[in-house]
Amino acid sequence: MNIQLTEEQEMLRSSARGFVDKECPTTLVRQIEDSESGYSPELWKKMAALGWMGLAIPGEYEGTGGSFLDLVLLIEEMGRGCLSGPFLSTVAVAAMAIAAAGTERQKQELLPQIARGEKILTLALTEPGGGWDADSIRISANAMNDYYVISGTKLFVEDVSITDYVLCVARTNNDDGSENGITVFLLNTASLGLKYSSFNTIGGTQQYEVVFDSVVVPATNIIGEPDNGRTVVRHMLDWGAIAKCAEMIGAARQVVDMTVAHAKERIAYERPIASFQVVQHLCVDMLTYVDTSRNITYEAAWRLSEELPCAQQVAAAKAWTNEAYVRITKMGTHLHGAIGFTRDHDIGLYYRRAKAAQLAFGDSDYHLEVMARELGL
């Protein structure tokens, strides 16, 4: 494994950090949380102008041809600033899936538009029955000539009110049981019969229940092979899980920096609380959690970039980082004292995001089960 950053990657990280610090203050984050859209169109355009949307898209489709590891570096810096929006679902999941498994027509039509920031996409995977993998899919897609008719409900679909397309995972064949018969469809959100309703989340992000009421979609809108979408789903979960880990790592490091700065300034018993051993040890524990999370996440990101087997590494990264981020934000909140428990303080943003991030692309229990399977248990 070699995850030593190149000069170009260091420049990417530095420029991303400068952009987030300047363009995404926490005042804007709070405004976005309170808005109906859940993102800033102006900020989205600026990000597109920097080439962020096309970072991992091949050059022949107007991207810059970067690796998934490059994308992880960028998302980590976005996490530091709690930057809200559909970047992860559009770029790290949907665009990656289309580039890897889409037809040439789909690539030519969609990838350049994504790279220019003109199209927003999201993933509709989880259903009321729970579960994050292909085996848990019950929503049906019935073939009718050159079309499919999709019926069922999806939950926790992000940003669907502002997206142009939804990648919907549906069951197209029940004959072979849960192992096969899964297909990934590309649906226009303006399709007749597609309805959605929003619900509030602890993380302040926009999530929806999406109902597919006999939605008709052409067979040409299938991503990958009919009845064989399990591989596409697994890849999307891997990309999404590691991208979310990167976001959590960036946010966790920001919590550490905020807490250390506060500990140096807060006076108790006529001395800074940073001079007390217990506070020092807690701050060191927080940093250790960050560095451990980063190491296992970057190993998984590197393996994904190199297209190496990585199921165990992805599961380990998400299971560990889920818990580490929550522990870090809890310790940071406690060390801030009473002010840390007010909604107006910035550390509260990170704590709420930590709780929400635990469930995205699989909670800790799910990924621990994946690891157990990989160990042959």
Q: What is the pLDDT of residues 313-324, one digit of tens each?
A: 999 999 999 999
pLDDT at 179: 61
CA distance 132 to 359: 10
Mean pLDDT to the nearest integer, 182-206 = 88
**pLDDT over 60 at 176, yes or no:** no
**pLDDT over 80 at 1, yes or no:** no
**pLDDT over 90 at 224, yes or no:** yes
pLDDT at 270: 92
pLDDT at 19: 96
**pLDDT over 90 at 204, yes or no:** no
Confidence of residue 110 (pLDDT cuts 50, 70, 90): very high
SS3 171: strand
**pLDDT over 70 at 160, yes or no:** yes
Confidence of residue 170 (pLDDT cuts 50, 70, 90): very high
Mean pLDDT to the nearest integer, 237-244 = 97
b/e sequence 230-264, b meaning 16+ C-beta within 10 Å: bebbebbbbbbbbbbbbbbbbbbbbbbebbbebbe
Mean pLDDT to the nearest integer, 281-306 = 96
SS3 27: helix
Range with the lowest mean pLDDT among 151-165, 173-187, 338-352, 360-374? Answer: 173-187
pLDDT at 275: 96
**pLDDT over 80 at 33, yes or no:** yes
**pLDDT over 80 at 250, yes or no:** yes
Tens of pLDDT along 55-106?
999 999 999 999 999 999 999 999 999 998 899 999 999 999 999 999 999 9
CA distance 298 to 289: 14
Average pLDDT over the chain reads 92
What percent of the chain lies above the pLDDT cut of 70?
98
SS3 342: coil
Confidence of residue 187 (pLDDT cuts 50, 70, 90): very high
Mean pLDDT to the nearest integer, 36-49 = 92
pTM: 0.95
CA distance 361 to 371: 15
Residue type at 138? R
CA triplet 166, 87, 83: central angle to 5 degrees?
A: 140
CA distance 158 to 185: 17
- Give the CB-side neighbour count of residue 56, counting CA atoms within 13 A: 27
Confidence of residue 2 (pLDDT cuts 50, 70, 90): low
pLDDT at 12: 94
**pLDDT over 80 at 272, yes or no:** yes
